[in-house]
Structure formats: C-alpha cells, structure tokens
Amino acid sequence: MSAVFQRCVNCRKAYFPFRLICSRCSNTSFVEDDVDSGVVEAVTLLSSGQQTATVVCPEDVQFIARILGGTVKAGDSIDLTNTASEETALVGYVPFQRNKA
Ligand SMILES: [Zn+2]
C-alpha cells in the first residue's frame, strides 16, 4: 500500500499532483516514487460526513487524502494508498490515474 508522487531527476524535489516543469530548477524530467504513510496535518469534515485530510510525508511531499475506514485527527499517522479497496482498514486514499498518452 502506497501513494505515488513525482520527483525531479535533477534536484530531487517531490511533487503531487504531477507537474510538467520543476519550480525549483526548471527541469522537465521526473521519475515516479512512492510513500507508504504520512502524518495528518489538518482534517476537513465534509457535509456528507466524509473526512479529507492533508497528509505530510517524510519525503517532503503532501497529499490531500480521502479518509476511509474510520476517522483521523491532526497528528495521527496514516497509511496511504492509490487504490480504493473493499478493505475496512483505516487508510488515506489518494485518487491517482496515470495519463494515457
Ligand atoms: Zn528540480
């Protein structure tokens, strides 16, 4: 279980969502990397009762994740995934689809 992000091959800066040009070094070549978990920084409760959270990861990238399988609060550590499964485990779901060129 992990969430994909993009890393500049020149300066190693991490991005999500993906970019075409690195804001730090203007490079246009990136590689995909992934991270297993992060720490909840802020939580938003939607009118539907669904939580979304800003999750900060040690790789210096942050995700907006949909919280599945429970609830979280700021400071909680949470696993991240790009796959919304039938599992009931607490997870931060980051919708992601590769561009099909
Ligand atoms: Zn760069």
| Residue 86 confidence class, pLDDT cut points 50, 70, 90 | low
Q: Structural domain tally of the chain?
A: 1
The boundaries of the domain holding residue 49 are 3-93
Does a structural domain hold residue 99? Answer: no
Please give the distance, rounded to the nearest whole angstrom, from the Cα atom of residue 85 to the centre of ligand 1.
Answer: 34
Does a structural domain hold residue 65? Answer: yes
Pairing of strands 91-93, 77-81: parallel
pLDDT tens-place string over residues 32-79: 999 999 999 999 999 999 999 999 998 789 999 999 999 999 999 999
Share of the chain above pLDDT 70, in %: 95
Round to whole Å and give the CA distance between 87 and 55.
20
Does a structural domain hold residue 98? Answer: no
Please give the distance, rounded to the nearest whole angstrom, from the Cα atom of residue 18 to the centre of ligand 1.
Answer: 13
Does a structural domain hold residue 82? Answer: yes
pTM above 0.85, yes or no: yes
Please give the distance, rounded to the nearest whole angstrom, from the Cα atom of residue 75 to the centre of ligand 1.
Answer: 29
pLDDT for the residue 59? 79
Does a structural domain hold residue 55? Answer: yes
Does a structural domain hold residue 56? Answer: yes
Does a structural domain hold residue 15? Answer: yes
Please give the distance, rounded to the nearest whole angstrom, from the Cα atom of residue 5 to the centre of ligand 1.
Answer: 14
Please give the distance, rounded to the nearest whole angstrom, from the Cα atom of residue 86 to the centre of ligand 1.
Answer: 37
